[in-house]
Structure 1
Amino acid sequence: MNAPLRRARIDLDAYRSNLDLVREWMDPVEVMAIMKADAYGHGLEPIALAAVDAGVRWIGVLTVPAALRLRAIGVGEDVRLFTWQHDPALDFRDAIDSAVDLGVSNAAELQRVVDAVDQRPARVHLGVDTGLHRDGATAETWPDLVALAVDAQRAGRIEVVAAYTHLAESSDDDDSAAVALFDAAVEQAEDLGLDIPMEHVAASLAGLERKEFRKDMVRMGANLFGMPGADGVSAADLGLEPVMTLTASVAKTKRVPVDTGVSYDYTYRTTSETTLALVPVGYADGVPRRAQGRVEVSIGGRRYPIAGRVAMDQFLVDVGDDDVRVGDLVVLFGTGEHGEMTVLEFGAAVDSIGEEVTCRIGARVPREYVGHEVEGRVGSWLRGDHHHRDHHRGDHQARGTHA
Structure 2
Amino acid sequence: MPRVSDDPHDAGETAATTAEAVVDLNAIAHNTRLLRSAAAPAAMMAVVKADGFGHGAAQVAQAALASGATWLGVAHAAEALALRKSGFTAPLLFWLPPPPDAVDAVLAAGIDVSVGSVSGLQAVADAAARTGTVAGVHLKIDSGMSRGGAPAEVWGRLFTWTHQFQDAGLLIARGLWTHLASAEETGSAALHIQMNDFRTAIEAARAIGLSSVILHVANSAAALHTPQARFDLVRPGLSLYGIEPVPGRTFGLRPAMTVRAPVVLTKRVPAGTGVSFGPDYYTSRETTLALVPLGFADGVPRRASNRGEFSIRGVRCRVAGRISMDQVVLDVGDLPVREGDTAVMFGPGAGGEPTVSEWALWGDTTANEVLTRIGPRVTRRYLPL
Q: TM-score if structure 1 supplies the norm length?
A: 0.88
For CA contacts below 8 A with separation 6 or more, give which structure has more relative contact order. Answer: 2
> Is the contact between residue 28 and residue 240 of structure 2 (CA under 8 Å) also seen in structure 1?
yes
Give the Cα separation in 2 of the matches to 1:260 and 1:203: 50
1:82 aligns with 93
Partner of 1:206: 222
2:304 counterpart (286, 291, 299): 291
- The aligned counterpart of 1:379 is none
2-structure distance, mates of 1:142, 1:154: 18
Distance 1:265 1:251 in 2: 16
Q: CA deviation at 1:292?
A: 1.8
Q: Which residue of 325, 328, 332 corresponds with 2:338?
A: 325
1:143 pairs with 2:159:
no
2:234 matched to which residue of 1? 218
Partner of 2:80: 67
**Cα distance, 1:263 vs. partner?**
6.3
Residue in structure 1 matched with residue 174 of structure 2 by the alignment: 161
| Structure 2: runs of 5+ lacking an equivalent | 1-12
TM-aligned CA deviation for residue 52 of structure 1? 2.3
Q: How many residues get paired? A: 367
Q: TM-score, normalised by structure 2?
A: 0.92
Identical aligned residues as a percent: 42
Query: 2 CA distance for matches of 1:122 and 1:95?
Result: 9
For structure 1, which segment, 104-113 or 180-189, has the greater mean C-alpha deviation from structure 2 after superposition? 180-189
TM-superposed deviation, 1:265 = 7.2
Give the Cα–Cα distance (whole angstroms) in 1 for the partners of residues 362 and 325 of structure 2: 19
Q: Tell whether the 8 Å contact from 1:292 to 1:305 is kept in structure 2 after alignment.
A: no
Tell me whether 1:96 sits opposite 2:112 in the alignment: no
What residue identity is the alignment partner of 1:282? G
Q: How big is the shift at 1:165? A: 0.2
Alignment match of 1:340 (pick from 333, 348, 353): 353
Per-residue CA deviations over 1:311-366 (Å, capped at 9, x if unaligned) read 00001111122211100010111111111111112212222222111101001100
CA distance in 2, matches of 1:104, 1:177: 22
Compared CA separation, residues 114 and 263, structure 1 to 2 (3 A): farther
The 5 Å alignment of 1:262-273 reads 262=275, 266-273=279-286
Confirm whether residue 45 of structure 1 aligns to residue 58 of structure 2.
Answer: yes
Of 196-205 and 29-38, the range deviating more from structure 2: 196-205
- Tell which deviates more after alignment, 363-372 or 191-200: 191-200
1:264, distance to aligned residue in structure 2 (A): 7.9
Report the 3-state secondary structure (helix = DSSP H, G, I; strand = E; otherwise coil) of the residue aligned with 1:65.
Answer: helix
1:116 to 127, 149, 161: 127
SS of equivalent to 1:92: helix
SS at match of 2:102: coil
Correspondence 1:367 to 2:352: no
Other-structure match for 1:28: 41
> Cα distance, 1:63 vs. partner?
1.6
Question: 1:259 corresponds to which residue?
Answer: 272
1:395 aligned residue: none
Letter of the 1:166 counterpart:
H
Q: 1:265 to 1:296 in 2, by over 3 A?
A: closer
- Cα deviation, residue 120, structure 1: 2.5
One-letter identity of the residue aligned with 1:267: D
Change (3 A) 1:263 1:97: farther
Task: State the one-letter code of the partner of 2:289.
Answer: L
1:18-62 CA deviation, whole Å, 9 max, x = no partner?
A: 111111111111111111111101011111122222342211011
The answer on whether the counterparts of 1:263 and 1:309 sit within 8 Å (CA) in structure 2 is no
**Could you give the per-residue CA deviations for residues 55-90 of structure 1, whole angstroms, max 9, x where no partner exists?**
4221101122111111112112xx110111123434
Separation in 2 of the partners of 1:182 and 1:196?
16
Alignment partner, residue 262 of structure 2 = 249
CA 1:263/1:175 → structure 2, altered by over 3 Å: closer, same or farther?
farther
CA contact (8 A) 1:163 1:196 kept: no
Match of 2:28 among 15, 18, 24: 15
What SS class does the counterpart of residue 169 from structure 1 fall into? coil
The superposition leaves residues 247-289 of structure 1 with CA deviations (integer Å, 9 ceiling, x where unpaired) of 0110101112222212687321021222110011000000011
Change (3 A) 1:341 1:89: same
Q: Equivalents in 1 of 2:357, 2:333: separation in Å?
A: 27
Taking the aligned partners of 2:354 and 2:14, their CA distance within structure 1 comes to 21
Alpha-carbon contact 2:23-2:55 (below 8 Å) kept: yes
| CA–CA distance in structure 1, aligned partners of residues 43 and 209 of structure 2 | 26
Is the 1:186–1:196 contact (alpha carbons within 8 Å) kept by the matching residues of 2?
Answer: no
Using the alignment, how far apart are the partners of 1:216 and 1:20 within structure 2? 17
What are the ranges of 5 or more consecutive residues in structure 1 without an aligned counterpart?
373-403
Label 1:249 to 1:264 Cα distance change in 2 as closer, same or farther (>3 A): closer
Partner in structure 2 of residue 195 of structure 1: 211
1:232 has 2:243 as partner? no
Q: Give 1:289's aligned amino acid.
A: R
CA distance in structure 1 between the partners assigned to 2:134 and 2:120 by the alignment: 15
Q: Identify which range, 13-22 or 60-69, moves more after superposition.
A: 60-69
Partner AA of 1:149 in structure 2: T
Aligned-residue CA RMSD (Å): 1.5
| CA displacement, residues 103-130 of structure 1 (integer Å, 9 cap, x when unaligned) | 1010111111001112321000001001
Partners of 1:67 and 1:83 within 8 A in 2:
yes
Q: Is the 8 A contact 2:36 2:68 kept in 1?
A: no
